[in-house]
Chains A and B, each alone.
Chain A
Amino acid sequence: MKNMKKILSLMLALVMMLALASCGSAGSGAASGSATGSGSAAEDASDLAYVKDKGTLIVGITDFKPMDYKNDAGEWVGFDADMATAFAKSLGVDVQFIEIDWDNKIMELNAKSIDCVWNGMTLTDEVKKSMATSNPYCDNAQVVVVPADKADQYQDVDSLKDLSFAVESGSAGEAEAKNQNLTYTSVSTQSDAVMEVSSGASDACVIDLLMAGAIIGEGTSYPKLTHTVKLNSEQYGAAFRTDSDLAEVLNKFLADSYKDGSMQKIAETYGVQESLIAQ
């Protein structure tokens, strides 16, 4: 009886400690958002050394044809994936691809669960501010997706004013919709935006040209959708933790592989050679 009480109180003490610990981290999590930024900045001076020491470059990606996708053997391939593999090789480290929730990319980088995001990312001001970005390497555009049978009515920007749009929250498409004063709803992914149009919840959506090429039209779930107006043109880049020295290293690698033609070769494999930007 007495023993049982002792054991019980010991266990309870343990639970309490857990409780205090979790309260502590939850509380300071809210308070020290800014402190985190400065803390990681100090460490990032040696990001290249950190990755070399670890022996692996962990690349955060999503499934995004033709930049990063799985081939039939289950390996990650694509223009970005192949370039990342070559980059890791030039550093003398292994490459590892991890599919992440794209909304959490900055947290993933700062928590060091990944070292780099390389996934057809549009270089916006926000992106450049929150991460260390490389030079742009590929052109892209934001396009309007509408049902194919209505496509002929919506061939210029003026015709879009009365439509309701769906856009990915925080995406370049959303920025463009805001720019053009379009009426829009933000959803969590570009594919959700396409689903909105397909189900009739929205009249149209704004997504990446390269993505539109891959997920709408014949052979997909959206054979009746097509893309019309190009709203803007934009550029893709890769990114690292804030102030990371790896961005400069990557820029040099991009320049070298453009000069020796290996970048063009990879681009041709995936049909993006016309969008390539000279380094």
Chain B
Amino acid sequence: MFLTVTLSLLQGLATTVKLFALTLLFSLPLGLIISFGSMSRFKILRYPVKTLVWVVRGSPLMIQLLIMYYGPGLLFGWELLPRFTAALVAFVINYSCYFSEIYRGGIEAIPKGQYEAGQVLGMTKSQIFCKVVLLQVVKRIVPPMSNEIITLVKDTSLARIIAVYELIWNGQTFIKSAGIIWPLFYTTVFYLVFNGALTLLFGYIEKRLDFFKC
């Protein structure tokens, strides 16, 4: 029984990890783009982006998942996205908005003097951003990012609402089919191990970025 459960949970874990990894892959760059939008000088750009961030951060991820999957069919009678894809799109949009605020915090924390110094040295704006600012931003945002990323690992369990068979779903299945409850709690071990590995990774990254002070 233990082996059966572990194998089934590993299957669920594969979906969880896939959802996690793909969400990061798309939302890390998209978050940076959104952060540029919310810091833009142009109101016509800044206000819509800020509204988007407000809507996405201000509404429950569970509802966003439901809208992303059922919305097209319920409202317009369109073909539905596959369940996993719908979950992925919802997660990418949601996490991009959270990440964008972390990026914004990191970028705005760089003293204005550094931009001015760059200008005096005759650097262009993009040179200043890429060669002076960006690496410092990366270093500063590692702790809040790791926080958000660890939350993402556990948030993937929300995808069960649109029947994406992830870790928790597979754990719960045993309650319904066989009346045994320990697999549901056993899933926690998988999350702990996964997040433990991530914590070590972020610790390592922080150490590697310690070569300069800012």
Contacts and interface: CB of A to CB of B under 8 A. Distances in A.
Interface of A: 1, 4, 8, 11-12, 15-16, 18-20, 22-23, 25-26, 28-29, 32, 36, 39-40, 43, 62-65, 69-70, 98-101, 104, 107-108, 110-113, 189, 191, 194-195, 198, 214-216, 220-222
B4 to A, nearest CB: 10
Interface in B77-98: 77, 80, 83, 93
B80 A112 contact: yes
Interface in B122-174: 124-126, 160-163, 165, 172-173
Question: How many residues of B sit at the interface, in one of the four size bands?
Answer: 35 or more
23 contacts: A1-B124, A11-B33, A12-B45, A15-B33, A15-B52, A16-B49, A19-B48, A19-B52, A23-B52, A25-B71, A29-B71, A32-B75, A40-B77, A64-B176, A100-B163, A104-B70, A104-B162, A104-B163, A107-B74, A110-B73, A111-B73, A216-B179, A221-B175
Contact of A107 (B51, B66, B93, B124): B66
Given A64-B176, A111-B69, A222-B179, 4 more contacts: A1-B124, A23-B51, A189-B175, A221-B181
Interface in B180-206: 180-182
Per DSSP, chain A at the interface is: helix
A195 B52 contact: no
A107 B178 CA distance: 28
Given A12-B45, A26-B55, A214 B71 contact: no
B40 interface: yes
A36 B74 contact: yes
Contacts of B124: 1
A214 B180 CA distance: 11
B175 A191 contact: yes
Contact of A1 (B126, B179, B181): B126
B37 A26 contact: no
A227 B17 CA distance: 41
Contacts of A194: 179
Contact of B180 (A1, A18, A110, A221): A221
A18 B177 contact: no
Contacts of B19: none
Contacts of B69: 111, 113
Contact of B70 (A15, A113, A189): A113
Contacts of A63: 173, 176-177
Contact of A22 (B75, B93, B165): B93
Contacts of B33: 8, 11-12, 15
A190 to B, nearest CB: 8
Nearest to B182: A221
Nearest to B129: A4
Contact of A110 (B45, B74, B83, B172): B74
A62 B163 CA distance: 10
B78 to A, nearest CB: 9
Among all A-B residue pairs, the 7 with the closest Cβ atoms: A111-B73, A220-B179, A215-B179, A19-B52, A191-B175, A63-B176, A221-B180
A101 B74 CA distance: 17
